[in-house]
Structure 1
Amino acid sequence: MVEPNTPVVVAARRTPIAVKGGALADLTAADLATAAIRACLDDTTAGTEVGDVVLGNCMGPGGNIARVAALAAGLDVAVPGMTIDRQCGSGLAAIITAAEAIRAGDDRLRIAGGVESCSTAPTRIAGGVPYARAPFAPPGHPDPDMVRAAQDLAAKDAISRERQDAYAARSHRRAVHTREIGGFDAELVAIRGANEDTGPRARIPDMLARFPALFPDAEDGGTLTAGNSCRDSDGAAAVALVPAAHRGDAPGLALIATATVGCDPALPGLGPVPAVEHLLAKTDTTTADLAAIEIVEAFAAQALAALTRLGLADDDPRVCADGGALALGHPWGASAAVSVVRLFSRLVRAGAPAGTRGLATAAVGGGLGVAALFEVVR
Structure 2
Amino acid sequence: AARMAVLHAGIPNSSAVYTVNRQCSSGLTAVSQIANGISSGQIDIGIGAGVESMTQGYGAGVMPAAFSEAVMSNQESADCLIPMGITSENVAAQFKISRETQDAFAAKSFDKAAAAQKAGKFRAEIVPIKVKWTDPKTQEEKQILVEHDDGVREGVTAESLSKLKP
TM-score (norm 1): 0.33
The equivalent of 1:154 in structure 2 is 92
Q: Specify the alignment match of 1:207 in structure 2.
A: 160
The structure showing larger relative contact order (alpha-carbon pairs under 8 Å, at least 6 residues apart) is 1
Equivalent of residue 198 in structure 1, options 127, 146, 150: 150
1:87 pairs, out of 23, 33, 37, with 23
Q: CA deviation at 1:103?
A: 5.1
Q: How far apart, CA to CA, are the structure 2 residues paired with 1:82 and 1:155?
A: 37
Mapping of residues 122-271 of structure 1, within 5 Å: 123-124=61-62, 126-127=64-65, 138-142=72-76, 143=79, 144-190=82-128, 191=130, 192-205=144-157, 206-212=159-165, 214=166
Paired positions, count: 142
Structure with a larger share of its residues in helix: 2
The alignment status of 1:121 with 2:57, answered yes or no, reads yes
Structure 1: gaps spanning 5 or more residues: 1-63, 130-136, 215-378
Looking at structure 1, the residues matched to 118 and 40 of structure 2 have their Cα atoms a distance apart, in angstroms, of 42
Following the alignment from structure 1 to structure 2, what is the Cα–Cα distance between the partners of residues 155 and 125? 27
Structure 1 pair 72–118 and aligned structure 2 pair: CA distance change class (3 A): farther
Cα root mean square deviation, aligned: 2.9
Task: Work out which of the residue numbers 11, 14, 27 in structure 2 matches 1:75.
Answer: 11
CA displacement, residues 12-43 of structure 1 (integer Å, 9 cap, x when unaligned): xxxxxxxxxxxxxxxxxxxxxxxxxxxxxxxx
Give the TM-score normalised by structure 2: 0.68
1:100 CA displacement: 4.6
2:163 counterpart letter in structure 1: R
SS in 1 for 2:89: helix
Larger relative strand fraction: 1
User: What SS is found at the alignment partner of 2:33?
Assistant: helix
Separation (CA, whole Å) in 1 of partners of 2:153 and 2:118: 11
For 1:196 and 1:95, how far apart are their aligned partners in 2? Answer: 18
CA apart distance, 1:74: 2.2
- What SS is found at the alignment partner of 2:46? strand
- Where does the alignment leave 5 or more consecutive residues of structure 2 unmatched? 131-143
